[in-house]
Chain A
Amino acid sequence: MSFWEYVGSRHAQLLTDAAQHASAVFQCMVAATVLGVALGVATYRTEWAGNLATTATSTILTIPSLALIGLLIPIVGLGVAPTVIALTLYGLLPVVRNAIVGLRGVDATLVDAARGIGMSRAAQLLRVELPLAWPPILTGIRVATQMLMGIAAIAAFASGPGLGNEIFRGIASLGSANALNQVLSGTLGIVVLALLFDAAYVLIGRLTIPRGIRA
């Protein structure tokens, strides 16, 4: 069976897997963004707290994903739970780091100006600092999403959802005629999803980054 015949005959299954893959990555990325920006906002003003947040999240990222999932299984069991936790944790670092770098990078005179014209602390953050730090944060989200695409594939080994299952089906039937088709469809599916997400981020950037600070 050629690759395209395989895709034609299995398209329902593939689409379901792809949708689950995308939705797992998307939801975890939303959670990671909210948590990451909150962590960044909470820590960027203090030297040690910001460094601690960056160091902690980067340590998590040093841990191989299979090992982290392995450590999560005894605690939360197999399936969706370890996948979601692992994806969210791995998604944090780029967001936290870029949020801190972005917020610290906001020109001090602009913060001074915001304070000087009578903005409250919350207004300074919401109307000046975060909008100016948004481009690097969005970059962090982009990078994190691409990374999560690959990790989500590995999470299928712990019975997580998504296109990783297609790859693991291929591994299970190594040597059989369909192994290549299964692995290839899973891998290409993830590549396509990653590129689609990337395109979506470019669009989001266009829509949310004010023209005045666009590169």
Chain B
Amino acid sequence: MPETPVPTAEGTSARAATSGAGIRLENLTKHYPGSPAPAVDDVTMEINAGELVVLVGPSGCGKSTTLKMINRLIEPTSGRIRIGDRDVTGMDPVKLRRTVGYAIQSSGLFPHMTVAQNIALVPRMVGWSTSKIKNRVEEMLDLVGLDPGEFHGRYPRQLSGGQQQRVGVARALAADPPVLLMDEPFGAVDPITRDHLQDELIRLQHELHKTIVFVTHDFDEAIKLGDRIAVLRERSHIAQFDTPEAILTNPTDDFVSGFVGAGAALKRLNLTRVRDVGVVDFATAGVDDPLQSIFDLLRDGDTNEVLLLDRHRRPYKWLRRGDLMRAKGTLARAGTLVHDTVTRDATLRDALEAVLTDNAGRVAVTGRRGEYIGVVDMETLMNNVHELLEADRLEAVEHRHQLEEQRARRTRMAQEGLGGQGGAGAPA
């Protein structure tokens, strides 16, 4: 494996993280003995380093089989697999799997080991030193947003479904593999938790730049997570392999558009994140601040509202000037509790939802541990949505143009007897 420590784009992390390695599947086929048709038929796919590719398709289409052939949990009948610049088709599968992270549905945590033991498994197998493993476990727990002190010694069954899944991801990433395979990892958790976990994964990927192959049957999840999406039909045939935007605005055929489903415009909101739109600053105060300073802030500032933060700088209450008048020396009963926040990785759809349900039309944006970052309001959102839709319309026009050109070219080629098979996918 090429284990080059890569300078991360945002300089976010002091962790010596291995960034992704490209994956190449060449004519991968799996034929189970005794079944007439292959389960996976001649899949060729190039996944770039640091990319999050989602394999999506109806159940039984072979997407999971394809994924499991990458770490050779299922041995391909024919074809080759390359990770980085190495052909792994012939290498010892056990060694291979230690260099490929693997996270599965319902976490797959071993119930008889503590969270720390679970995470330490792979580093121990590849022979890290005890102290290095110990640090790594803390680091990984921290990375997936669990307090190491609190969760270290717990057993899986003492965790909620979402926490288990986080630990599952931490275990998969513990030995710092360049490639992470995820097989419907969020399939077994409730929708709200799933949403959070998806946001977490996006944040993680921003920090780590692993190459992630993610299998799901949920197209919305695919849109939310994927840098590129491979829509698979039966026997893992690739119907379309492109960016979410392209698939939404320009599905290649009826199968793909059927899979995309209705409401493509709304789904489009899933493709833009809060971090991409302007987060505005808001007047804030801490709960421990002297009452007088909050008074001053409200009286002298140009705002008539402040956001009160708790001791961990998490949004706590919205305080209006009127609330303070009635506060009578204590903040205990003043103001409205913050009931909803979004992270910077939340989609515009989530943000819109939160803003729409908030009676003042704004929502606080928080960081990884729930600490305050800024506020998004209705106005910012509306502006962005309009821009977005406008841009899409322009793109669609352009695309139609391109398609027409392409079709014309193909007709021409067909007429010349060359056949235009290869150009089926939309050119980027």
A and B: direct contact (Cβ < 8 Å)?
A: yes
Residues of A at the B interface (CB closer than 8 Å) are 109-110, 112-120, 123, 127-128, 131-132, 210-213
Label chain B's interface by main secondary structure: mixed
Question: With A116-B71, A132-B112 known to touch, is A212 a contact of B98 (CB < 8 Å)?
Answer: no
Report yes or no: B94 in contact with A116, Cβ–Cβ below 8 A.
Answer: no
Please give the distance in Å from A145's CB to the nearest CB on chain B.
Answer: 24
Please give the distance in Å from A204's CB to the nearest CB on chain B.
Answer: 16
Report yes or no: A212 in contact with B97, Cβ–Cβ below 8 A.
Answer: no
In the assembled complex, B113 has its CB within 8 A of some CB on chain A: yes
Report yes or no: A116 in contact with B113, Cβ–Cβ below 8 A.
Answer: no
Label chain A's interface by main secondary structure: helix
Bound complex: CA of A170 vs CA of B171, how far in Å? 64
Residues of A within 8 A of B155 (CB): 210-213
Residues of B within 8 A of A118 (CB): 94-100, 122, 125
Bound complex: CA of A81 vs CA of B110, how far in Å? 43
Bound complex: CA of A109 vs CA of B105, how far in Å? 8
Residues of B within 8 A of A123 (CB): 125
Residues of B within 8 A of A132 (CB): 110-112
In the complex, which of the residues A113, A119, A127, A212 contacts B94, with contact meaning CB atoms closer than 8 Å?
A119
Report yes or no: B73 in contact with A116, Cβ–Cβ below 8 A.
Answer: yes
Bound complex: CA of A177 vs CA of B94, how far in Å? 72
Bound complex: CA of A213 vs CA of B112, how far in Å? 5
Report yes or no: B113 in contact with A210, Cβ–Cβ below 8 A.
Answer: yes
Residues of A within 8 A of B219 (CB): none
Interface core residue of A110, A112, A120, A212 (most chain B CB under 10 Å): A212
Report yes or no: A115 in contact with B97, Cβ–Cβ below 8 A.
Answer: yes
In the complex, which of the residues B96, B98, B101, B112 contacts A210, with contact meaning CB atoms closer than 8 Å?
B112
Report yes or no: A212 in contact with B71, Cβ–Cβ below 8 A.
Answer: no
Residues of A within 8 A of B121 (CB): 117, 119
The 16 sampled A-B contact pairs (Cβ below 8 Å) are A109-B104, A112-B73, A113-B109, A117-B121, A117-B171, A118-B95, A118-B97, A118-B100, A118-B122, A118-B125, A131-B112, A132-B110, A210-B113, A212-B158, A213-B112, A213-B157
Please give the distance in Å from A107's CB to the nearest CB on chain B.
Answer: 8
Residues of A within 8 A of B104 (CB): 109, 112-113, 116
Q: Could you tell me how many residues of chain B have their Cβ less than 8 Å away from some Cβ of chain A?
A: 31
In the complex, which of the residues A109, A117, A127, A128 contacts B97, with contact meaning CB atoms closer than 8 Å?
A117
Interface core residue of A115, A118, A210, A212 (most chain B CB under 10 Å): A118
In the assembled complex, B108 has its CB within 8 A of some CB on chain A: yes
In the assembled complex, B114 has its CB within 8 A of some CB on chain A: yes
Bound complex: CA of A93 vs CA of B100, how far in Å? 41
Bound complex: CA of A120 vs CA of B171, how far in Å? 17
Please give the distance in Å from A133's CB to the nearest CB on chain B.
Answer: 10
Bound complex: CA of A109 vs CA of B73, how far in Å? 12
Bound complex: CA of A116 vs CA of B122, how far in Å? 10
Please give the distance in Å from A208's CB to the nearest CB on chain B.
Answer: 10
Report yes or no: B110 in contact with A119, Cβ–Cβ below 8 A.
Answer: no
Bound complex: CA of A113 vs CA of B97, how far in Å? 10
Question: With A116-B73, A117-B102 known to touch, is A110 a contact of B110 (CB < 8 Å)?
Answer: yes
In the assembled complex, B232 has its CB within 8 A of some CB on chain A: no
Report yes or no: B112 in contact with A120, Cβ–Cβ below 8 A.
Answer: no
The 8 A CB mask of B169-181 against A (1 = contact, 0 = none) is 0011000000001
Bound complex: CA of A105 vs CA of B302, how far in Å? 66
Bound complex: CA of A42 vs CA of B357, how far in Å? 61
Tell me the chain B residues, 187-222 only, with Cβ under 8 Å from chain A. Answer: none
Which single residue of chain B is at the shortest CB-CB distance from A210?
B112
Residues of B within 8 A of A127 (CB): 110
Residues of A within 8 A of B181 (CB): 116
Bound complex: CA of A116 vs CA of B104, how far in Å? 9
The 8 A CB mask of B80-116 against A (1 = contact, 0 = none) is 0000000000000011111111101110111111100
Bound complex: CA of A174 vs CA of B114, how far in Å? 60
Please give the distance in Å from B107's CB to the nearest CB on chain A.
Answer: 8
Bound complex: CA of A70 vs CA of B51, how far in Å? 73
Bound complex: CA of A115 vs CA of B104, how far in Å? 12
In the complex, which of the residues B97, B108, B171, B172 contacts A110, with contact meaning CB atoms closer than 8 Å?
B108
In the assembled complex, B20 has its CB within 8 A of some CB on chain A: no
Which single residue of chain B is at the shortest CB-CB distance from A209?
B112
Please give the distance in Å from B168's CB to the nearest CB on chain A.
Answer: 8
Report yes or no: B110 in contact with A114, Cβ–Cβ below 8 A.
Answer: yes
Residues of A within 8 A of B111 (CB): 110, 132, 210, 212-213
Report yes or no: B108 in contact with A109, Cβ–Cβ below 8 A.
Answer: yes
